[in-house]
Structure 1
Amino acid sequence: MTPGVIAEFDDPEALVAALRAAKDHGWRRMDAYAPYPVPEAAKLLGATGARVAWIAIGAGLFGAALAYATQWWLSVHVYPLNVGGRPLHALPPFLPATTIVGILWAAAGALIGMLALNRLPRLSHPVFAAQNFGRASEDRFFLCLFEGDPGLTLREAEYLLRRQKPLRLSVLAT
C-alpha cells in the first residue's frame, strides 16, 4: 500500500465535505472510515453492494441446482425406489431441500464475496498506525488520501485536508 495522508473529523458532515473537496480536486485513491454507514460518503466513493448481490444470486442458484441434481441422481439412478407407483422424478418432494440449500449457498456466497471484495481479513494496513484510528469504530470519522493519483502529491493532500479543518492530520508511512 502506498503512503497517504489521513484526517480525523468529529462528524459525518465534515467527512462528506472533505470527500467532496478531494473529489473536486481530482483525488481518486481515497477511502473513508466511519463508526456507522454514511450513505453520502459511500456514494461519493462509488461504493455499491451490487457485486455482492450478484455473487449471492450466483452462489444460491448454483447451490440450488447442485441440491436438485443430487436428489434427482440419487432417486432416479443410484437408489430408485418405487413407492405406491409414484414417479421416481417428482418435483414437489425435491423443492424444500433445494430451496434450503440454495438459501444456504447464497448466504455463504454473500459472506465470502463481501470478505473478498473488501480484501478482508486485513491484518496490517498503514491506517491502523494513525493516531486515534481505533476511534473509527466508536465516534470519529476518517478520510485517507493515498499517494498514486497522477499529478497529485502528498503535500497537496496535506494542504487540501488542512483546509477542511480536521481534528488531527497524520502522514502514513508505508
Structure 2
Amino acid sequence: LQWWTNAVNYPFLISGKPLFSLPANIPVAFETTILVAAITALVGMLGLNRLPQLYHPLFNSSRFRKATDDRFFISIEAGDPKFDAEATRELLEGLDGRLTLEEVRS
C-alpha cells in the first residue's frame, strides 16, 4: 500500500530522490508487523482456549448466577479417568465455611 500511494498513485518528486525509498517505509512496516503479530497471538489464544464459551451446562445452575454477586463458585469437572467423586466430596466437605454441593450434568 505504501508503494502504491507513494510511487504510483500520487508520485511526488522531492529533491531528485527516488519515488519509493525503502528506509522511509521501514518504521511503518515494522509497526504493521507488530500489529499483525499481536492480533494473531490474540486470535490464536482465544481459539486454543475455545473462548468465548457461549454455553456451558453450569450456566443453568441457580448457584452459578450468585457467583458474581456475593459468593464464590468452584467447579470441578469429572472428565479425568482418575477422578474420584467420593474423595472430592470428602475434601470439599472437610473445608471450613458454608458449602453446598450440586451435581450438574450436561
Fold shared, TM-score > 0.5 on shorter chain? yes
In terms of fraction of residues, the more strand-rich structure is 1
Residue 22 (structure 2) aligned to one of 90, 96, 108: 90
Q: Distance in 1 between matches of 2:54 and 2:94?
A: 32
Report whether the alignment pairs 1:172 with 2:104. Answer: yes
Taking structure 1 as reference, are residues 96 and 136 closer, same or farther at Cα in structure 2, changes over 3 Å only?
Answer: farther
**1:95, CA displacement in angstroms?**
4.2
TM-score, normalized by length of structure 1? 0.44
Match of 2:73 in 1: 142
TM-score, normalized by length of structure 2? 0.64
In terms of fraction of residues, the more helix-rich structure is 1
Taking structure 1 as reference, are residues 118 and 135 closer, same or farther at Cα in structure 2, changes over 3 Å only?
Answer: farther
SS at match of 1:112: helix
Higher Cα Rg, which structure: 2
Report whether the alignment pairs 1:130 with 2:61. Answer: yes
CA RMSD for the aligned pairs?
A: 3.2
Q: 1 or 2 for the larger relative contact order (CA 8 Å, sep ≥6)? A: 1
**1:153, CA displacement in angstroms?**
2.5
8 Å CA contact 1:127–1:133 kept in 2: the answer is yes
SS at match of 1:141: coil
Identity across aligned pairs (percent)? 35
Taking structure 1 as reference, are residues 155 and 130 closer, same or farther at Cα in structure 2, changes over 3 Å only?
Answer: farther
Report whether the alignment pairs 1:117 with 2:48. Answer: yes
Extract unaligned runs of 5+ from structure 1. 1-69
**1:112, CA displacement in angstroms?**
2.4
Deviations for 1:29-65, whole angstroms, at most 9, x for unmatched residues?
xxxxxxxxxxxxxxxxxxxxxxxxxxxxxxxxxxxxx
Residues paired across the two proteins, number: 102
SS at match of 2:52: coil
**1:163, CA displacement in angstroms?**
1.6
